[in-house]
Amino acid sequence: MNADTASRPVIVGVDGSEFSSAALRYAGTLAARLDARLEVITCIGMPDYLVVAHLEGGEHPLTARLEETARQAVEDALGRAFSGSRPAAVDVTVKFGAPGKVLVEESKRAQLLVVGRHGEGGFLGTSMGSVSKACAARSACPVVLVGQEPDTV
């Protein structure tokens, strides 16, 4: 691993689900082993943001509430994932936009992107959700897709 790669974070997409808690736990282990900063990104989807953006007067209190709710979902996921032993080097970022698009863009500065794999599973179902598909197909760095109960790292 070169110095440039070592300085890049491990980015994990979190939406507050149990899948994202499993991905967060897995990403935390990988970041520690890679001696990398762990960056948690959660997204507020465009439909939510577009409604608020069209309200009168610049910064609207609803925008702040959306961001606050997203941050709380991340805090809850961190609590479930690490149950009191939260890694020291964790950054939390709330972005506005479609999660797949945002995470693919953020992957340009990461050494690794970790996302939960929602999907329906089964013979006729899908094994990945739309965000994990977008990340796997277009990420600028390696991607780890994590199911509900990932294997140990």
pLDDT digits (tens, 9 = 90+) for 53-87: 555 555 566 778 888 989 999 988 898 888 878 88
Q: What percent of the chain has pLDDT over 90?
A: 42
pLDDT of residue 42: 94
Distance CA 89, CA 115 (A): 19
Band (17; pLDDT cuts 50, 70, 90)? confident
pLDDT band per the 50, 70, 90 thresholds, residue 5: low
Whether residue 141 has pLDDT greater than 90:
yes
Is the pLDDT at 108 greater than 70? The verdict is yes
Check residue 124 and give its pLDDT: 43
Question: How far is Cα 9 from Cα 6, in angstroms, rounded to an integer?
Answer: 8
Whether the pLDDT of residue 2 is over 90: the answer is no
Q: CA-CA distances (angstroms) from residue 18 to 31, 79, 135?
A: 20, 12, 19
Supply angle C-alpha 38, 111, 11, rounded to 5.
35
C-beta neighbour count of 50 within 10 angstroms = 10
Q: Which of 119, 135, 20 is nearest to 73 (CA)?
A: 20
